[in-house]
Structure 1
Amino acid sequence: MTSHAAPSLPATGKTSKTRLPILDGLRGVAALIVIAYHIFDSDAVNSVNHGYLAVDFFFMLSGYVMGYAYDDRWSTMSPGSFFKRRLIRLHPMVIVGSILGAIFFYFGACGLFPLVDRTSFGMLLLSTLLGALLIPSVKSMDVRGVGEAYPLNGPAWSLFYEYVANIAYALFLRRFSRRVLGVLSFVFAGLLTYVIVTSKIGTIGFGWMFTGEHVWKGMVRVLFPFITGLFLFRLGRTIHVKHAMILTSLALLIALPMPRIGPDAMPWVNGLYECFVIILLMPVIVLIGAGSQPVTRSGEKACDFLGELSYPLYLAHYPIHYVFYAWLNNTQPTPGMKTLAGIGVYLSSIAAGYLVMRFVDMPIRKQLARFAR
């Protein structure tokens, strides 16, 4: 393992930068872990128990890549141009995810989601529009009745906070020195530790509801990893190891499926584990991913594919899971049937993510790219 300077960036800010394929690949690995986490979330004990920490990893990757892609462009790029680029990159899938959620909505109706059968078509259209605009639903407009800020596609909550972080970067964070970013990272590490350790259940599982507690803790949840990712980029140092994709993927595949730590009467023990993963382990993984390259050309192609798949997969899979949850609740299947159905849901989610990536997300972004020039 060696440490070295990060890849240099051209002063022009054009797109001829050294790519970061392992970080792209790790984004895909994290997305695949999220799919498994949501499938096992129907069990009494989730076998991918800390899979939700993949979201925190996404936020840290976002901070690092934001600095890498945009820090050197501000002499020729306005905030308006930046926001246009981010909208083109992020929002087509937000809209697609909301529409997919609406399409699958009534398939997951009976016996599990209390408000589905009583939701009018007009309310469904309104909820679809709110989701497409990334406007959180208050309790009175939650058409599924389980408290999600985005009831047609639950994971969209993290995109709300991603937008918050992007806006903060364009207006404030990009102007801060490396020292200031380091201080902010340290401060938010303390706040994050407080939020996790003092939680009644000892987790960072906040942000997915639109309540006062979830909003302020969700802000802490996104700002620590995002600021830390940006700070890591500004440090200008990375870690190079051989077989980095395999090693960093294994780190995620061990840390995120880890069973809950400690007894229920001492939730702070599990909280300390989550602090370790987010505050210490994830920065190391990012630095290794940024400082290493795939060993083979096929490995690089695999990383590219996983990176392209990750975002459509993340926002396309959950409507399928709603149907799966309702089926489990209504049929009470045998363990064997449940296992087969879970495998089917996992593969269907990947297939849906690929189809959306190939025929919707990529073509739409290609058409919209000319408006970002």
Structure 2
Amino acid sequence: MRISSLTGLRGIAAVSVLLYHIPHNPTFAAYAMPLFSRAYLAVDLFFILSGFVISLGYHDRVMGRPGWASYADFLINRIARVWPLHLIVTLVFAARILLNVSGNQAITLDAPNVISNLLMVQSWGWGTEPIAGNSWSVSTEVAAYLAYPLIALLAFSRIAWLQGAAAVVALALVAGLGHGSSGPLDVNDSDSVLTLVRCLAGFSIGVLAYRIADQRWCKRLIDRPGAFVAICALIGVALWLPNKRDILVVCLMPALVLSCFYNGPAARAVMSNPVSFHLGLISYSIYLWHPLVRDVVARAMNVAHGHGITGMDGLFILAMLVATWLLCWASYALVEVRGHRLIKWLQKNGFRRETRRATA
């Protein structure tokens, strides 16, 4: 099941992360945009969205028919969705490191890093580093997939309120320990479990949001005219508050997700239009590929400056955005879609062979 406004929301979040990361390369430091200075919180929105959307698509299948068969099918579906692109991006980023394409060789390609990245467990707190920088969050989501039955079991139990409180406390702990880079929750350390805690907390909040989506009180509060605009306004105010109150912003995100789920006119206008929806479809590719495109274009711009070619920085920025879009569009069609189909085909045909053997 695909809710168009939720897809568009993912696209807006991915572009926000892209615009947030552009000035992280020193070449583009002058292009920092205050509007996106806290877009690292879009990653927390991704975690919440994942918990919600996965529950929307898989809760009844996994929890309605509990057992190893349904759990394995769920995990294969999730790995088919995320692993093919993760593998290709990791290999390309490894080649970048080996060839020094972008002038950045910060990650050591030793056995622990390579193996943990191929298995998508690189950011589980044992000191290995993501070869493709943004893949740390994808790695932590794999842990959330593995833990989904337990998370969903708690979310649909009588102690769901305790789970919600624990998730908020966990996020407050992550924010309060002082490991954030651009802000309290901007924590992606490779040598601690804080990134894993950050993901599991956000993912749990998303599952809890799915639980209350059909509640009358929730619909009366959020599924009404003006609610989407009001929620966006509240998030905007929270983002501009002093002292970077990240927890407040994250606590408002489930309401935004629910508003998009209800798919009212305002949400559809902003999130379901062709541009937002298209960006949502390629959002995973945008999230993983954009740092590489940024760094390659930055190096090209530095070379141009070294040869006395100046005054064209805006064209380099435009070229970077267009190249990112074209690459991610192709990546979605050729890697994400086809990789998912291939793994599902292998699963289906492998099951058929096992069935023939069992009946032979």
What TM-score do you get using the length of structure 1 for normalisation? 0.74
Q: Is the 8 A contact 2:123 2:140 kept in 1?
A: no
Deviations 1:234-277 (A, max 9, x none): 112443255988x4996699579x57x64xxxxxx22x2x1111
Match of 1:283 in 2: 254
Return the offset for 1:51: 1.2
Is 1:132 paired with 2:124?
no
Cα distance change on mapping 1:109 and 1:34 into 2, 3 Å: closer
**Pairing of 1:15-164 with structure 2 (within 5 A):** 19-42=2-25, 43=29, 46-47=32-33, 48-74=36-62, 75-76=64-65, 77-105=69-97, 106-110=99-103, 113=104, 123=109, 130-136=116-122, 149-151=129-131, 153-164=132-143
Structure 2 Cα separation of the partners of residues 51 and 82 of structure 1: 30
Mapped partners of 1:114, 1:52: distance in 2: 23
Question: Is 1:89–1:365's contact at 8 Å kept on the other side of the alignment?
Answer: yes
Are residue 312 (structure 1) and residue 281 (structure 2) matched?
no
100-109 vs 190-199, which deviates more? 100-109
| Counterparts of 1:91 and 1:343, CA distance in 2 | 30
Match of 1:340 in 2: 315
Aligned to 1:168: 147
CA distance in 2, matches of 1:26, 1:189: 22
Aligned to 1:229: 206
Q: Is 1:240 equivalent to 2:223 in the alignment?
A: yes
Distance 1:189 1:352 in 2: 37
Paired positions, count: 324
Give the conservation status (yes or no) of the 8 Å contact 1:99–1:128: no
- Aligned-partner residue type, residue 193 of structure 1: A
Partner AA of 2:281 in structure 1: E
Q: Which residue of 1 aligns with 2:190?
A: 210
Amino acid across the alignment from 1:276: L
The aligned runs of 1:352-363 (5 Å cut-off) are: 352-363=327-338
Structure 2 distance, partners of 1:302, 1:372, is 34
User: For 1:342 and 1:188, how far apart are their aligned partners in 2?
Assistant: 39
- Once residues 248 and 69 of structure 1 are traced to their aligned partners in structure 2, the CA distance between those partners, rounded to angstroms, is 28
Distance 1:248 1:222 in 2: 26
Counterpart contact for 1:67–1:233, Cα < 8 Å? yes
Residues 62 and 226 in structure 1, CA contact (< 8 A), matched pair in contact too: yes
Distance 1:126 1:341, change over 3 A: farther
Distance, in Å, in 2 between the alignment partners of 1:344 and 1:241 is 41
SS in 1 for 2:190: coil
In structure 1, C-alpha distance between the alignment counterparts of 2:258 and 2:138, rounded to whole Å = 24
Q: Secondary structure at the match of 1:179?
A: coil
CA distance in 2, matches of 1:199, 1:306: 33
- 1:365 equivalent in structure 2: 340
**For the structure 1 residues 356 and 364, does the alpha-carbon distance in structure 2 shift closer, same or farther, using more than 3 Å as the test?**
same
Summarize the Cα distance change of 1:191–1:175 in structure 2 as closer, same or farther, 3 Å threshold. closer
CA distance in 2, matches of 1:225, 1:311: 18
CA contact (8 A) 1:39 1:342 kept: no
Structure 1 consecutive aligned stretches of length 4 or more whose deviation exceeds 6 Å: 328-335
- How large is the RMSD of aligned CA atoms in angstroms? 3.7
2:93–2:292 contact (8 Å) kept in structure 1: yes
Deviation, structure 1 residue 368 = 2.6
Shift of 1:342: 2.4
Distance 1:366 1:181, change over 3 A: same
Where 2:186 maps in the other structure, the secondary structure is coil
Distance 1:372 1:195 in 2: 38
The Cα offsets for residues 186-222 of structure 1, whole Å up to 9 and x where unpaired, read as 1221221233144266511112x3213xx2x212211
Quote the residue 1:322 is aligned against. 295
Counterpart code for 1:210: S
Q: 1:137 to 1:28 in 2, by over 3 A?
A: closer
Letter in 2 for 1:86: R
- Offset at 1:370? 3.2
Q: Distance in 1 between matches of 2:80 and 2:120?
A: 14
Conservation of the 8 A alpha-carbon contact between 2:160 and 2:208: yes
Cα distance in 2 for residues equivalent to 1:82 and 1:204: 30
